[in-house]
Chains A and B, each alone.
Chain A
Amino acid sequence: AANEAYTASLAVSELLGCKQCGASRGQDEELGIRIPRPLGHGPSRFIPEKEILQVGSEDAQMHALFADSFAALGRLDNITLVMVFHPQYLESFLKTQHYLLQMDGPLPLHYRHYIGIMAAARHQCSYLVNLHVNDFLHVGGDPKWLNGLENAPQKLQNLGELNKVLAHRPWLITKEHIERLLKAEEHSWSLAELVHAVVLLTHYHSLASFTFGCGISPEIHCDGGHTFRPPSVSNYCICDITNGNHSVDEMQVSSPGSVSVSDSFFEVEALMAKMRQLQECRDEEEASQEEMASRFEMEKRESMFVFSSDDDEGTPARDVSRHFEDTSYGYKDFSRHGMHVPTFRVQDYCWEDHGYSLVNRLYPDVGQLIDEKFHIAYNLTYNTMAMHKDVDTSMLRRAIWNYIHCMFGIRYDDYDYGEINQLLDRSFKVYIKTVVCTPEKVTKRMYDSFWRQFKHSEKVHVNLLLIEARMQAELLYALRAITRYMT
């Protein structure tokens, strides 16, 4: 632990003062110690370092959060450093994660981290995989398991199928999936274990979305997070994450400031105008029932085809891929073929009434924690939009939330899906879609091209909505299958 603490504090200090490091390097090298240098600038590749909260300048609340995070994880990771834009959410997030990974629960500790690795690997998220490989070994996990899922116990291998379906096509989960896991003789799962596993899987699927969606840089002690090359060899650092879109000059070229200001200014204005308009004329213009239904179907179908044009087919990240079989099983394949997603009606099975009760029954207290997290994420607002203050953003947040659920076929009877089309423009939809469904394909260009006038904290806020909505959607499908199995 002490060692980890060292690397973490090293990471923090180095992230803050790269140049000073360069100066002090000489002395250390005389001692024959190789000092790793962080690659990348700051915790996120998308957000300029100076925009992100500097450690040391945080207020009391944030400081307490950092302290808790450090105490629980033995490090202050980049996710925390980015999420601290929204301390209220971060607190709930850390509490939940801590409970899932370290507190009393049905699964042994190394299983929990291994499941985390399995889930993150589905999205080729080397950042999370690396973190949890360390943790896995730290809690006494068998290093052999890391050579691939086939080296793990049969019980975990059985979970692979659920992991795959849950990550990419949760609507296909049936009670047979659940039954197979629970009835596998000596490798069978108990209901409580399964719920724990499902919560972990969904948590890490969505966390992978966040990692890519905010362009989280690798930790310094992980692969791709550092280099031993002296800075003179290369003037800027090249991150070797698969996306290949993070050289510094690109960052400068497409930084938000360089886009014509008036252009993006209009965007915000137009969005606000639309929101006002929807607010006012909602009662007058009454769409027929069929119209409402078709709007949902249209949005759902359209969401299948919303994809960025520039999806370069990169091979999956190095050795991470060993953790999951069947790389081809992804979201995209099916959407190209236009597979039909059945409609899931929230009024018949919702988190508040049904999901919560089930989770809390089988894995006490976790339902409560997740419920809180959903609540905070859904209700979080500062009443600001870009440069405007005192704006009621609930409509916009609801549109984002429901759009994500719409992609998963989840329908709210009391929502007019026409609003989504009004409020979310195409580039934003592309971003949402990519982050939620194929997070590994998110590029900095996508991040920069939506909501150009908005602050980075607001974009992180969007990401929080995305990951929580995604987590809830996956949970709903999985829990409904479990409920069906139980009845």
Chain B
Amino acid sequence: MEKMSRVSTALGGNALTGRTMHCHLDAPANAISVCRDAAQVVVAGRSIFKIFAIEEEQFVEKLNLRVGRKPSLNLSCADVVWHQMDENLLATAATNGVVVTWNLGRPSRNKQDQLFTEHKRTVNKVCFHPTEAHVLLSGSQDGFMKCFDLRRKDSVSTFSGQSESVRDVQFSIRDYFTFASTFENGNVQLWDIRRPDRCERMFTAHNGPVFCCDWHPEDRGWLATGGRDKMVKVWDMTTHRAKEMHCVQTIASVARVKWRPECRHHLATCSMMVDHNIYVWDVRRPFVPAAMFEEHRDVTTGIAWRHPHDPSFLLSGSKDSTLCQHLFRDASQPVERANPEGLCYGLFGDLAFAAKESLVAAESGRKPYTGDRRHPIFFKRKLDPAEPFSGLASSALNVFEIEPGGGSMSWFVDTAERYALAGRPLAELCDHNAKVARELGRNQVAQTWTMLRIIYCSPGLVPSTNLNHSVGKGSSCGLPLMNSFNLKDMAPGLGSETRLDRSKGDTRSDTVLLDSSATLITNEDNEETEGSDVPTDYLLGDVEGEEDELYPLDPEHAHPEEPEYVLPQEAFPLRHEIVDTPSGPEHLQDKADSPHVSGNEADAVSLVPVDSSFSLLSISHALYDSRLPPDFFSVLVCDMLRFYAEQGDVQMAVSVLIVLGERVRKDIDEQTQEHWYTSYIDLLQRFRLWNVSNEVVKLSTSQAVSCLNQASTTLHVNCSHCKRPMSSRGWVCDRCHRCASMCAVCHHVVKGLFVWCQGCSHGGHLQHIMKWLEGSSQCPAGCGHLCEYS
């Protein structure tokens, strides 16, 4: 780690020389302090208290102040400070609450001078007056600060912070009488040493403890504070109210802060936990540290600039039991490693990039490529001579804009908004989406939708090998039989005589599906026509006594003598209702609604005949309809989906995935699906198509995706009278003391579940509203709105 660069600076004839170096201590250090001649440093810790001479090449141990065999808690130092006027005078703060002063001029081995045992708790900080020889200040965990005159045995005055523990005390360098203290509860206080009764000023600087503070060596009113909230703040104390001048956000709680000499805007920090590095910040550039020292392997506990007028030497002590001298020249500069290049692709095809100015300058000399339809619209360059790292980390921004109409994404928005993904039969969905695509001039997409419709829902297509179980039982052995059946019966089927015993009301109740397994059940009879490859489902077999009706294709029963039986020709409305737990326990569907297929029913309803556009294609499907199952195509369809996704049209991939649902889902692995879904949702959200994105989330079957809209949802309620947010309770407003949410039916306050109509915003108790809407479709409040409960 030791680098061989050397620096010597002339400071009034007193040259400082040295290099980056470190020495091993026997124990972790808690604090360090430098002698005023910049040639010695004192290191203090729980079990170490030594003075080192800083020589050119190395640290040399000069004195061990821990004398005597018996360990004493008085020597367990939390802080140490060297007097800046008298090089023989030191003070330490002990963890047991004792303040000790040391006189290096004493002839005996034991240099201990005075012992103040006035604090009841750990003393966190001691501080000498910058110009007065005998004044010492201490701040303790017990919440008191004490000022000692070293010529006397007791404290001269005691300052009570009236708040929690004192973490730091610092005499102002410029104001003779002023000192600042910081507290565990986030306060900073300013005191006049002559007035112990109350503080001059108090303000809250941080959220949580303020661990440290430091007065600016030149700027009279500037105070830097560092806290547990990971912030370093610079305050201007000259104004009437302390004003926050700068704020630096670090990555860990700030343990120490020290202004860098001779550099007005620089300060060094080290952290209390997790982060072991020392940073030097330019407060005007709060995001990237100006310099970083990475020598320590454990948290740094003490930092000190070696000389008050030399900005290049920094000393530090650490929990890893080392003492280091850092040379500013050897510091790593994160700015150099910072990547000032950035590239962003806009929603509407615009492209912006930022790059180092040197690069861009070379680039901009060139003529733009004429054949390119894109051209840079502006070139912005901002250079402030006062900027600390000008040239180092500044970059130029270029924006390229698509020519109007060139690569507009409006088709994406239109498509997203107009596509139908669920709620209608597959065929209709496909037709609708094909139409949308065609209208937007996307013929290939339109063609794809049409083909999907042919593959998966050709009318009269008779399922062959891949029927669901209930039908398939017969089909596997009775294939030839089915063929004849097909020829015989489907001919009228293609006409308009197809019958289904389902009334409109039935259909509706059927479509209120409980979960995916239930979807299978209701799908069952369309699938007979659509020939889907849905896995076998036995649930329908539970319907007692109706097997004959239900399974007319059973080998025993499917005789040609039953020509009346007609397969349903067209799907009934499919609704892909996705419930919030797709993989939840299976519910048995209400059997009463089970569709039974029977051509004998009198109230048969004829279903939609094939539309004209379709008839064109029906010729081709007739060629394979009884031979090739849709399963045959699934590989092709999957390839197609992947193709679209590769092309960047993830919209198509996801839309098809949703529309086809179970039919293709199993052929594409979960992760790919999830990837498509998240990409599409991300795109939708960037276009602020919140509704569409939510619909997609809801319709997705991937667990990871569908839980997206089930987390972190908070509903904020405002009072209906005073329109203020209701914070504590949902039913009574703290401000106007009125009950906000009344039930429209019983006119009592609703304290539990409150259900309300999104149309007219009336509502009430869940049970009451449910009951009311069974009997009436109008709003119980009498507003005339036709409320719906679903």
**Interface check B486, CB cutoff 8 A:** no
**Interface check A53, CB cutoff 8 A:** no
Question: Interface residue count for A (Cβ, 8 Å)?
Answer: 28
**Interface check B394, CB cutoff 8 A:** no
User: In whole Å, how far is A482's beta carbon from the nearest beta carbon of chain B?
Assistant: 10
Known: A289-B74, A413-B76, A413-B96. A104 touches B711 (CB 8 A): yes
With both beta carbons as reference points, the residue of chain B lying nearest to A379 in the complex is identified as: B164
Within 8 A of B (CB), among A326-350: 345, 347-348
Is B184 a contact partner of A357 (Cβ separation < 8 A)?
Answer: no
User: In whole Å, how far is B110's beta carbon from the nearest beta carbon of chain A?
Assistant: 15
**Interface check B95, CB cutoff 8 A:** yes
Is B117 a contact partner of A286 (Cβ separation < 8 A)?
Answer: yes
A-B contact pairs, 30 of them (CB 8 A): A64-B729, A282-B120, A286-B117, A289-B70, A289-B72, A289-B73, A347-B78, A347-B122, A352-B228, A353-B228, A353-B253, A354-B272, A354-B273, A356-B208, A357-B253, A357-B273, A357-B274, A358-B273, A358-B274, A371-B208, A413-B73, A413-B76, A413-B94, A413-B96, A414-B95, A414-B122, A414-B141, A483-B273, A487-B297, A487-B298
User: In whole Å, how far is B212's beta carbon from the nearest beta carbon of chain A?
Assistant: 12
Bound CA–CA A348/B273 (angstroms): 12
Is A414 a contact partner of B96 (Cβ separation < 8 A)?
Answer: yes
Is B70 a contact partner of A290 (Cβ separation < 8 A)?
Answer: yes
Bitwise, B100-134 to A at CB < 8 A (1) or not (0) is: 00000000000000000101111000000000000
**Interface check B46, CB cutoff 8 A:** yes
Bound CA–CA A241/B122 (angstroms): 45
Known: A290-B70, A414-B120, A414-B121. A347 touches B95 (CB 8 A): yes
What residues of B have a CB within 8 angstroms of the CB of A345 in the complex? 46, 95
User: In whole Å, how far is B227's beta carbon from the nearest beta carbon of chain A?
Assistant: 11
Specify which of A282, A292, A293, A357 is in contact with B272 (CB 8 Å cutoff).
Answer: A357
Specify which of B95, B252, B711 is in contact with A361 (CB 8 Å cutoff).
Answer: B252
With both beta carbons as reference points, the residue of chain B lying nearest to A483 in the complex is identified as: B273
User: In whole Å, how far is B123's beta carbon from the nearest beta carbon of chain A?
Assistant: 8
User: In whole Å, how far is B47's beta carbon from the nearest beta carbon of chain A?
Assistant: 11
In the complex, the 3 A-B pairs of residues with the closest C-beta atoms, listed nearest first:
A413-B95, A357-B273, A347-B95
**Interface check A486, CB cutoff 8 A:** yes
What residues of A have a CB within 8 angstroms of the CB of B276 in the complex? 487
**Interface check B209, CB cutoff 8 A:** yes
With both beta carbons as reference points, the residue of chain A lying nearest to B140 in the complex is identified as: A414
Bound CA–CA A345/B73 (angstroms): 12
What residues of B have a CB within 8 angstroms of the CB of A283 in the complex? 117
What residues of B have a CB within 8 angstroms of the CB of A286 in the complex? 117
Known: A104-B711, A358-B274. A347 touches B46 (CB 8 A): yes
Is A64 a contact partner of B209 (Cβ separation < 8 A)?
Answer: no
**Interface check B647, CB cutoff 8 A:** no
Is B252 a contact partner of A353 (Cβ separation < 8 A)?
Answer: no
Bitwise, A406-425 to B at CB < 8 A (1) or not (0) is: 00000001100000000000
Chain B contacts to A: CB under 8 angstroms: 28, 46, 70-74, 76, 78, 94-97, 117, 119-122, 141, 184, 208-209, 211, 228, 252-253, 272-274, 276, 297-299, 711-712, 728-729, 752
User: In whole Å, how far is A343's beta carbon from the nearest beta carbon of chain B?
Assistant: 12
Bound CA–CA A213/B272 (angstroms): 37
Specify which of B122, B211, B253, B298 is in contact with A413 (CB 8 Å cutoff).
Answer: B122
Is A64 a contact partner of B96 (Cβ separation < 8 A)?
Answer: no
User: In whole Å, how far is A68's beta carbon from the nearest beta carbon of chain B?
Assistant: 8
**Interface check A137, CB cutoff 8 A:** no
Within 8 A of B (CB), among A349-385: 352-354, 356-358, 361, 368, 371
What residues of B have a CB within 8 angstroms of the CB of A352 in the complex? 184, 209, 228
Chain A contacts to B: CB under 8 angstroms: 5, 64, 67, 104, 282-283, 286, 289-290, 292-293, 345, 347-348, 352-354, 356-358, 361, 368, 371, 413-414, 483, 486-487
Is B96 a contact partner of A292 (Cβ separation < 8 A)?
Answer: yes
Specify which of A67, A357, A487 is in contact with B729 (CB 8 Å cutoff).
Answer: A67
What residues of B have a CB within 8 angstroms of the CB of A356 in the complex? 208, 228
Is A361 a contact partner of B46 (Cβ separation < 8 A)?
Answer: no
With both beta carbons as reference points, the residue of chain B lying nearest to A479 in the complex is identified as: B273
What residues of A have a CB within 8 angstroms of the CB of B729 in the complex? 64, 67
What residues of A have a CB within 8 angstroms of the CB of B97 in the complex? 414
User: In whole Å, how far is A55's beta carbon from the nearest beta carbon of chain B?
Assistant: 15
What residues of B have a CB within 8 angstroms of the CB of A357 in the complex? 228, 252-253, 272-274
Bound CA–CA A361/B95 (angstroms): 27
Q: A353-B228, A414-B122, A483-B273 are in contact. List 4 more A-B contacts (CB 8 A).
A: A104-B711, A282-B120, A358-B273, A414-B119
User: In whole Å, how far is A470's beta carbon from the nearest beta carbon of chain B?
Assistant: 22
Bound CA–CA A345/B120 (angstroms): 17
User: In whole Å, how far is A49's beta carbon from the nearest beta carbon of chain B?
Assistant: 27
What residues of B have a CB within 8 angstroms of the CB of A371 in the complex? 208
Bound CA–CA A290/B69 (angstroms): 12
Is A292 a contact partner of B46 (Cβ separation < 8 A)?
Answer: no
Bound CA–CA A357/B184 (angstroms): 14
User: In whole Å, how far is B711's beta carbon from the nearest beta carbon of chain A?
Assistant: 7
With both beta carbons as reference points, the residue of chain B lying nearest to A289 in the complex is identified as: B72
Is B141 a contact partner of A353 (Cβ separation < 8 A)?
Answer: no
What residues of A have a CB within 8 angstroms of the CB of B46 in the complex? 345, 347-348
With both beta carbons as reference points, the residue of chain A lying nearest to B185 in the complex is identified as: A375
User: In whole Å, how far is A411's beta carbon from the nearest beta carbon of chain B?
Assistant: 10
Bound CA–CA A286/B208 (angstroms): 34
Bound CA–CA A353/B319 (angstroms): 15
Bound CA–CA A487/B97 (angstroms): 30
What residues of B have a CB within 8 angstroms of the CB of A289 in the complex? 70-74
Is A353 a contact partner of B96 (Cβ separation < 8 A)?
Answer: no
Bound CA–CA A414/B122 (angstroms): 6
With both beta carbons as reference points, the residue of chain B lying nearest to A353 in the complex is identified as: B272
With both beta carbons as reference points, the residue of chain A lying nearest to B251 in the complex is identified as: A361
What residues of A have a CB within 8 angstroms of the CB of B120 in the complex? 282, 414
What residues of B have a CB within 8 angstroms of the CB of A348 in the complex? 28, 46
Bound CA–CA A477/B253 (angstroms): 20
What residues of B have a CB within 8 angstroms of the CB of A486 in the complex? 274
What residues of B have a CB within 8 angstroms of the CB of A368 in the complex? 208
What residues of B have a CB within 8 angstroms of the CB of A413 in the complex? 73, 76, 94-96, 122
What residues of A have a CB within 8 angstroms of the CB of B711 in the complex? 104
Bound CA–CA A361/B211 (angstroms): 17
Bound CA–CA A153/B273 (angstroms): 33
User: In whole Å, how far is B438's beta carbon from the nearest beta carbon of chain A?
Assistant: 45
Bound CA–CA A282/B119 (angstroms): 11
Bound CA–CA A483/B273 (angstroms): 8
Bound CA–CA A437/B711 (angstroms): 38
What residues of A have a CB within 8 angstroms of the CB of B28 in the complex? 348
What residues of A have a CB within 8 angstroms of the CB of B141 in the complex? 414
Is A353 a contact partner of B95 (Cβ separation < 8 A)?
Answer: no
Is A64 a contact partner of B728 (Cβ separation < 8 A)?
Answer: yes
Bound CA–CA A64/B732 (angstroms): 11
Bound CA–CA A352/B46 (angstroms): 19
With both beta carbons as reference points, the residue of chain A lying nearest to B581 in the complex is identified as: A140
Is B273 a contact partner of A347 (Cβ separation < 8 A)?
Answer: no
Is B274 a contact partner of A347 (Cβ separation < 8 A)?
Answer: no
Bound CA–CA A368/B207 (angstroms): 10
User: In whole Å, how far is A399's beta carbon from the nearest beta carbon of chain B?
Assistant: 14
With both beta carbons as reference points, the residue of chain A lying nearest to B209 in the complex is identified as: A352
Bound CA–CA A347/B121 (angstroms): 11
User: In whole Å, how far is B124's beta carbon from the nearest beta carbon of chain A?
Assistant: 10
Bound CA–CA A486/B252 (angstroms): 14
Bound CA–CA A105/B41 (angstroms): 46
Specify which of B209, B297, B712, B728 is in contact with A104 (CB 8 Å cutoff).
Answer: B712
Known: A347-B76, A414-B95. A353 touches B122 (CB 8 A): no
What residues of A have a CB within 8 angstroms of the CB of B228 in the complex? 352-353, 356-357
Bound CA–CA A361/B252 (angstroms): 8
User: In whole Å, how far is A284's beta carbon from the nearest beta carbon of chain B?
Assistant: 11
Which among B72, B273, B712 has the highest number of chain A CB atoms within 10 Å?
Answer: B273
User: In whole Å, how far is A106's beta carbon from the nearest beta carbon of chain B?
Assistant: 13
What residues of B have a CB within 8 angstroms of the CB of A64 in the complex? 728-729
Bound CA–CA A483/B73 (angstroms): 25
User: In whole Å, how far is A280's beta carbon from the nearest beta carbon of chain B?
Assistant: 13
